[in-house]
Structure 1
Amino acid sequence: MRSFPLLSALAIVPAMLATSPGCSAGGNDSVFDPATHKGGSGGSSGNQGGGGSGNTGGTIITTEDSGPPCELRCSADLHQVIDCHDVVTVTCPATQGCGQGGKCTDPCSAAQANKSTLGCDFYSLPPSPETETPGSCFAALIANTWTSPISITVEYQGQQLDVGNLARVPVGSGTSITYQPLQNGQLGVGEVGILFLSQGPPNGMLHVGCPAGTASGINSDPALLGTGFVNAFHITTSAPIVAYDIYPYGGAPSYVSSATQLIPTPAWGTNYIAADAYEVDPNLVSFGGMPFVQIVAAQDDTTVTISPTSAIVGGGGVNPTGAGQPQDYKLNRGQAVQFLQNAELAGSPISSDKPISVWGGTGCMYVPLGVYACDSGHQELLPVSAMGFAYAAVRHRGRSGQEENAPWTLIGAVDDTQLVYEPSAPPGAPDTVGSGQMVRFNASEPFIVKSQDDKHPFYLSAVMTGGDNGHSGMGDPEWVNSVPPAQYLAHYLFLTDPTYGNTNLVFVRQKAKDGTFKDVTLDCVGVLGDWQPVGNEGQYEYTRVDLNVGGQPQGACDNGVHIADSEAAFGLTVWGWDSYVSYAYTAGMSTQPINTVVVPPVPK
């Protein structure tokens, strides 16, 4: 919360997630056609079946009388090969993972073939800050989901940074967490590491440095307050991890952070629909409280084309263009173009000739407009090919004891996308959207929304409202992607921020292929209960679990590192809040292509 008239609180998160290091055939497993080796979307699977020889790979042998080939898929943790009967045919050796065509291969190649938030190659860049936070601590959090310790490298502007200096492991729980150096220069099995990427000299009332006793990769501010070109940090590992970034790192007392799950580069695409956190409040413009979009390249000489829904003002070397008028931008490896302006670019189609990734966010937002306090937000977005055509929309528990009437943002990718809702459409929710059309509406209860088919994907996200919106100062605006059920996982390793007094986990499960709901376990609870239906067709249920309420641990649960898993895929979103501050992040997702839609940036 800002301490002067245009108050703000910005969200913070040490967040982390991923598939569990254990071997399981469960989850949204990656499917391979043995004839074409073409990846596709998988479903959940059981744990039945025995292991196989670790060195034989995943070859299928058929005869003339055996019928069509049996599809192979990889378990969510990449350790096993599973056939179309949900039988584990091969357990890969500890030094390998299930990869292309169901073959056991090196772990990073396996992760690249499977396309999820599990990977070995990431980029991270800070959001455009509001004017009181420049130079604050920028960090990435990574979880080792593999079966052996991993090595880490970090580069910035082509220079390798000292990982032994900038990397730390959080030890303990709650407010007793300390930051320890890596053991033997590696991150251990099941550990979460924090990479303190940067911090600059204090340059504002809300500047937050990295924790005492830690050091950052660079001692300058890599963020840009405005439109222009910036550089991203490049993080690589020797085996798959899951990663987030946080700006600033510092906890609830800082009031100035937001976080996002990071998408590994093999899951990047060449076609996106832009999204951002929320519309601008005119009273926040002078403090940098404007929506932004960032586009990052992984390869040199990448051409990016955007057809903006609003005119791009330009500046800082970025050429302007009118609404609906496509504009090209050239990027090199690790370089990003950033658009920060009053007019939202949400809904703008973006294409490229080489893989890119797109971030959206805001420096600070009032939700609703004019209601204190303001908070930041940023999210890395999925490409169009990974967007869903059905979502189960469930937010955090009500901060004041009842369900909250708060905004959802929906953006269409294809014209004539027809939407249906369960149990009914919230007031103001659209029944049809066009390509690039954005609609915000409030809902006071969980709901299901889906389009007519996978040729009509769309984007959905949730927004938390400000602390003065009937919540006695608890929490503040935050923005988080919604994960389509087709991209759920079966295992999550994640970290919740120890400085927040309230941490609420939201679980959503879908009926498995056998028509039953599978148990979901959380390490500090065991098997979860109190499941409630979402919609009226009996296909989805949700439950919520508090780790901490009012600064008090709940049973055996407290903030820190946690594991959740099931035999079948489920969704998990983490929400945290305290006095005029909040954060949220999705605890993992698959990024498999689940549609074949392309949205070209043509003139409009």
Structure 2
Amino acid sequence: MAAAASAAACSASGSSAGPPRPGNTSGGGSGDGGSSTNTSTSGNAGSTSTGDDIGTGTGGSDPGPELVGDPKTCAEAAANKSYIGCDFWPTVTANIVWSIFDYAVVVANAGDEVAEVEVTRDGASVAHAEVQPNSLTKVYLPWVPELKGPDAGVCASGESISSSVRVDGGAYHLVSTRPVTVYQFNALEYKGAGGPDGKDWSSCPGLRMCPSSGDAYGCFSFTNDASLLLPSTAMTGNYRITGQQGWRSASMGGYAVITGIQDGTSVTVNLAQGASVIAGDDIPATPGGGSFTVDLDAGDVVEILGTPSSDLSGSLVTATRPVQVLTGMPCVQSPVGYKACDHIEESVFPAETLGKRYFVAVPTSPGGEVFGHVVRLYGNVDGTALTYPSGRPDGAPTSIDAGQVVDLSVVKRDFEVVGDHEFAVSTFMLGAEIVDRNTAPPDQKGDPSQSHATAVEQYRTKYVFLAPSDYDESYVDVIQPLDATIMLDDAPVDVEPTPIGNGSGFGVARIPLGPGNDGAHVLTASAPVGIQVIGYGSYTSYQYPGGLNLVLIAPPPPPPN
């Protein structure tokens, strides 16, 4: 079964508000991913009776002292296990964005010495950069067409990859002489401006007339997202896929992208019951509950594509050596039926780094509003009991099993969730039609993006993060103890956190971001906090966890029965 994004599903003509944007179809067929129906892709979701009350509990156990400091050397970074490191594997994922927009990684250096950065692919040098102390550098890299898939047409719609893909030597390898943080942007710019020095945007397809509408769409990317890349020293061989279900009415499947970082790695993918894989290269067609194995050397990439009616989430990836795993979709609406569609992607956290306590905060919307987001819960251990000290959101389960996924659909308030075993939480931003509803088309900002909630156990007291100047609005949402003192770029933050529940001791502070140091920011706190970084442009957005510790705090999940 082909997994392609049809023109009809990704845009709709005839709008009186100007040229249509990708994802403008208003209807979502029954069973489409991200619909307003609460779903569980496999297993028993436990009790899901209405529970949107405000609780008064005190939540889970104290997260304890922070275990990870700021590494000064690559050896310290390897030992400390956090998002800071010296060895990364940027990997292109499928996106129908026009290729004139740039795939890029942004490297931030919070140290006090210059970081020399070298990027190679399959042993050949691609780029070199110097990153000054307390600064960042954008490194533009060529797309890998086999992994990216085809571009949209001049009418900003088109088909994406239709089968699973293997590209030997398909990943980039980024090595730094000093500890750095790395984010990949697919794509970086959201409008036809900026890019490498001397870039000429005159050939942008959006400047040409769309025959079906008689208008030009304008040079906008429409489908962007960003991923926090994890250093290889924090990777493991165990991952529970934390993605989104396919978009059936648009024939768009989700994918998992696995990158080998050491030669001679054997990777087995045990599919969740609700998953189904489309064959491609040496990846076999595999139904839910099945498994397959691939062998990877350093830099080899497999992009495993699910059928549009299935969900790879909950599947278990096990490898004989550490690997990198990303999840995403070429384009998706959130929820289905609300424009517009956007590319989503994010790094998957190793299963051994998952925690038992999460605060899930609604992302700040354009203009500083707060409207909601889609939340998904992923089980990692059978019989995990879940409690909600701040009150249980509608449809939230009281227990979850390994490989089970529960879709809470649109959640409009912040909440706390605690398990007696580790589990995972992902969040998905809503379409511009919802989050920028007070702005008339075609000037709305926003669209879907994926991020992962960070376990309280992996919070930090210092973050170096990026909010690119390429976007119109950027925010950092800080989940913090109510009495914590926050400093941003050496200035005290005077935003009062909004309490989460009545008695958790935590709240969320929503902080607009200025330009910083060319988009680089440093946040410090008197107690461990978690952060989400958010940005908006015309019908596009990004969100990613701004960083986290990646201490091994959980056992590897047992193999499926």
TM-score range, shorter chain: 0.7 to 0.9
Distance 1:298 1:569, change over 3 A: same
Residue identity opposite 1:397 in structure 2: T
Secondary structure at 1:468 match in 2 = helix
Alignment of 1:465-504 (within 5 A): 465-469=430-434, 471-472=436-437, 473-504=444-475
For the residue of structure 1 that corresponds to 2:355, the secondary structure is: coil
Counterpart check, 1:506 vs 2:477: yes
Conserved 8 A contact 1:128-1:226: no
Structure 2 counterpart of 1:189: 133
Q: Give 5+ residue unaligned stretches, structure 1.
A: 11-40, 46-72, 79-96, 98-106, 168-185, 209-222, 512-516
Corresponding residue number in structure 1 for 2:303: 338
Measure the CA separation in 2 of the matches of 1:339 and 1:150. 34
Task: Rate the CA distance shift 1:188–1:9 in 2: closer, same or farther, 3 A.
Answer: farther
8 A Cα contact 1:375 1:477, kept in partner: yes
1:570 to 524, 529, 546: 529
Question: 1:189 offset after TM fit, Å?
Answer: 0.7
After alignment, is 461-470 or 438-447 more displaced? 461-470
Q: 1:235 aligns with which of 161, 171, 174?
A: 174
Aligned to 1:321: 286
2:553 matches 1:590 = no
Match of 2:304, SS state, is strand
TM, length-normalised to structure 2? 0.77
For residues 414-429 of structure 1, the aligned pairs below 5 Å read 414-429=381-396
Q: Is residue 245–residue 313 contact of structure 2 (8 Å, CA) maintained in 1?
A: no
SS at match of 1:457: strand
Partner of 1:539: 505
- Is the counterpart of residue 77 in structure 1 residue 44 in structure 2? no
Q: 1:4-47: per-residue Cα shift (whole Å, max 9, x none)?
A: 5484279xxxxxxxxxxxxxxxxxxxxxxxxxxxxxx98446xx
Superposition CA RMSD, Å: 2.8
Task: Specify every segment of 5 or more residues in structure 2 that has no aligned partner in the other structure, as ranges.
Answer: 1-8, 14-19, 25-61, 192-219, 438-443
Residue 299 of structure 1 aligns with an amino acid whose one-letter code is Q
1:415 is paired with a residue of what secondary structure? Answer: coil
The match for 2:412 among 444, 447, 470 is 444
Report the AA paired with residue 493 of structure 1.
V
Structure 1 counterpart of 2:70, which letter? D
> 1:251: which partner in 2?
190
Q: Are 1:148 and 2:148 matched, yes or no?
A: no
Deviation sequence 1:86-112 (CA, Å, 0-9, x none)? xxxxxxxxxxx4xxxxxxxxx111100
1:232-258, Cα deviation, whole Å (9 max, x unpaired)? 100001110000101112135422211
**Counterpart in 2 of 1:122?**
88
| 227 and 152 in structure 1: CA distance in 2 versus 1, 3 angstrom threshold | same
Mapped contact 1:509–1:569 kept (Cα < 8 A): yes
The correspondence of residues 374-413 of structure 1 with structure 2, limited to 5 A, is: 374-399=341-366, 403-413=370-380
1:267 aligns with 2:234: yes
The DSSP-based 3-state class of the residue aligned with 2:76 is helix
Q: Distance in 1 between matches of 2:63 and 2:415?
A: 24
Distance 1:241 1:559, change over 3 A: closer
User: Would you say how many aligned residue pairs link Structure 1 and Structure 2?
Assistant: 462
User: Shift in Å at residue 363 of structure 1?
Assistant: 0.5
Q: Give the Å deviation of 1:284.
A: 2.6
Query: 316-325 or 383-392: which moved more?
Result: 316-325
**Rounded Cα–Cα distance in structure 2 between residues aligned with 1:135 and 1:338:** 22
The one-letter amino acid of 2:340's match is A
Name whichever of 154-163 and 387-396 sits farther off.
154-163
Question: What is the CA–CA distance in structure 2 between the aligned matches of 1:399 and 1:187, rounded to whole Å?
Answer: 31
Q: Distance in 2 between matches of 1:207 and 1:8?
A: 9
Assess if the C-alpha contact under 8 Å between 1:465 and 1:477 holds in 2.
yes
When normalised by structure 1's length, the TM-score is 0.71
> 1:65 is matched with which residue?
none
Structure ID, larger Rg: 1
Q: Distance in 2 between matches of 1:142 and 1:568?
A: 26
Q: Secondary structure at the match of 1:142?
A: strand
SS of 1:143's equivalent in the other structure is strand
Cα 1:200/1:439, change in 2 over 3 Å? closer
Please say if residues 120 and 127 of structure 2, whose CA atoms lie closer than 8 Å, have aligned partners that are also in contact: no
Partner of 1:35: none
Question: What is the SS of the residue equivalent to 1:251?
Answer: coil
Residue 528 of structure 1: how far off its partner (Å): 3.3
User: Which residue of the partner structure matches residue 215 of structure 1?
Assistant: none
